[in-house]
Amino acid sequence: MSSHRSHAAAILPTARGTLSMATYRALPSRFKAVHPRFSTPSFSTLMMGVVASAYYIGMTLISDNILQDSITSLGLAIAFYYGITGFACTIYYRRELFRSVKTFLLIGVGPFLGGLMLLGIFVKSCVDLSKPENSESGDSWFGLGPPLVIGVGFLLLGVVLMGIWRAAGHAEFFRRRPSAAAPDALGSDAPRVRTHEDLPAVV
């Protein structure tokens, strides 16, 4: 039952993620298509559903233990990218932090503490998942637990794909952007939030 819930739950956040990535030119523009009636990421949801279904069925046929270990490894990715986001928020808006107490707490202290907590969770999870006995099968891959190998492997794969995307002529995604907190978060004179309508499509 937990596998079915994890499979279904994987579709929604990844669809939102690919929508956001396409909006900021990290994926082809097709992924930022929004359903005209339901205002949901239509193409992204469809594609993530296909990918999640194919992965779930494939791993079930190969090994249910590997499937469960790969689901366990997702926690590493979640802790990693949310933790990075917390630190990035504080660093990016470092010159705005002392505009007000509200700004300092919501854009400085809160995200930074969140990043620290997730960093601690990431490190603790790496230590725990490195032990083969904590895996579903108890097997050892390269002397480590399969969930750690799978989790770190996918993170490294992401770095490779990012490099390929940049080398393919999409360096604009990696440039610094001049925006983009909501005006009521930084004050009334804060820069306007950029939306996908402000950005040229990927061809």
- Three-state SS string across the chain, please? CHHHHHHHHHHHHHHHHHHHHHHCCCCCHHHHCECCCCCCEHHHHHHHHHHHHHHHHHHHHHCHHHHHHHHHHHHHHHHHHHHHHHHHHHHHCHHHHHHCHHHHHHHHHHHHHHHHHHHHHHHHHHHHHCCHHHCCCCCCECCECHHHHHHHHHHHHHHHHHHHHHHCCCHHHHCCCCCCCCHHHHCCCCCCCCCHHHCCCCC
Please, how many CA atoms are within 13 Å of residue 51, restricted to the half-sphere of its CB?
A: 13
Spatial contact of 126 and 153, defined as CB atoms under 8 Å apart: no
What is the per-residue pLDDT for 197? 44
Amino acid of residue 154:
F
Whole-angstrom distance, CA of residue 73 vs CA of residue 155: 10
Reported as a single tens digit per residue, the pLDDT across 183-203 is: 455 554 444 444 444 444 443
Question: At 8, is the pLDDT very low, low, confident or very high (cuts 50, 70, 90)?
Answer: low
Question: At 120, is the pLDDT very low, low, confident or very high (cuts 50, 70, 90)?
Answer: very high
Whole-angstrom distance, CA of residue 105 vs CA of residue 150: 36
Reported as a single tens digit per residue, the pLDDT across 13-45 is: 788 888 888 888 888 888 988 888 888 888 999
What is the per-residue pLDDT for 199? 43
Task: Please give the structure tokens belonging to residue 29.
Answer: 């523009």
Question: At 117, is the pLDDT very low, low, confident or very high (cuts 50, 70, 90)?
Answer: very high
What is the per-residue pLDDT for 114? 96
